[in-house]
Amino acid sequence: MQFFDTHAHIGLIYDDPIEQLRVIKHAKRENVTRIVSINNSLHDFAKVYPTLKPYSGVYHAVGVAPSEVVTKGSDYVRTIEEKLKLPNIVAVGETGLDYYKQFGKKEDQIELFITQLELAQKHNLPVIIHNREAGKDIYDILQHRIPSSGAILHCYSEDAAYAKQCLDMNVWFSFAGNLTYPKAHNLHDTVMFLQEANALDRILIETESPFMIPQKYNVPTPQEKKPRTKPRMLPAIAEFLASMLEKDIEEVADMLWKNSCKAFKLPEE
């Protein structure tokens, strides 16, 4: 049994490269054998990628998050395209829209988002999408601009009705540690809807490290008063999902592994 963490900000867990490598090592002990490393900025990517590059099972996405719209004018297209030539790049992202923190103007966020959707299409890669209080605009844009390789709705935060809308498109629904929260009724309802719609092959899981810690790990310790999520915690999300679906964890783990490999165009072995 093995697990695939489809979204982890390794560089945000620890700045120290030695600690970053320890994160990978600890994850593999828990059978988390593949991880997609995510960065919000190209600056962060340039720091983290060289550290993680030598390690098998670690893949990378390249892109610019909505927060980077405040530095509008940078030549993102040229730089992202340069990075897409590097080994083990499997997606463009994360990108998307964030209306909660109001990074710059909405129009600028949308422009930056569309630019990266076009890059994903050009390079035949899936796109990893950040959505915070911007579901309608993201849906409307994807209706016309979704890359042929699909889109991953990372840290899914909408409801079952939104998922039903999106099923007509080539999208994946990626659930993080907040799926395990007792009051996350919108996420629980979405999972049950996807099961009823025979769309479990669209589900991925992620840790969104160091955020969205699974419920079972949300206990302060002397070392970490506010615990950080790490890829080694991913199996707790799979176990919770298995209990929701009333399936064996081995069956769910196998399903998630196959889904993740398909989403990122990777071999299953």
Residue 69's pLDDT is 87
| pTM of the full structure | 0.96
Question: How confident is the model over 214-223, as pLDDT tens digits?
Answer: 999 988 777 6
The number of angstroms, rounded, from the C-alpha of 180 to the middle of its chain's C-alpha atoms is 17
Number of Cβ within 10 Å of residue 243's Cβ equals: 12
Question: How confident is the model over 20-39, as pLDDT tens digits?
Answer: 999 999 999 999 999 999 99
* Angstrom distances, CA of residue 93 to CA of 24, 25, 46, 130, 197: 21, 24, 14, 8, 28
Among 178, 191, 106, 189, which Cα is nearest to 141's?
A: 106
Question: Cis omega (within 30 of 0) on the bond before 94?
Answer: yes
Instruction: Give, as one character, the DSSP assignment of residue 209.
Output: B
Residue 186's pLDDT is 98
pLDDT at 73 over 90: no
- Tokens found for residue 112: 């930056």
pLDDT at 169 over 80: yes
pLDDT confidence tier of residue 50, bands split at 50, 70 and 90: very high
The number of angstroms, rounded, from the C-alpha of 233 to the middle of its chain's C-alpha atoms is 15
pLDDT confidence tier of residue 65, bands split at 50, 70 and 90: very high
**Mean pLDDT across the chain:** 95
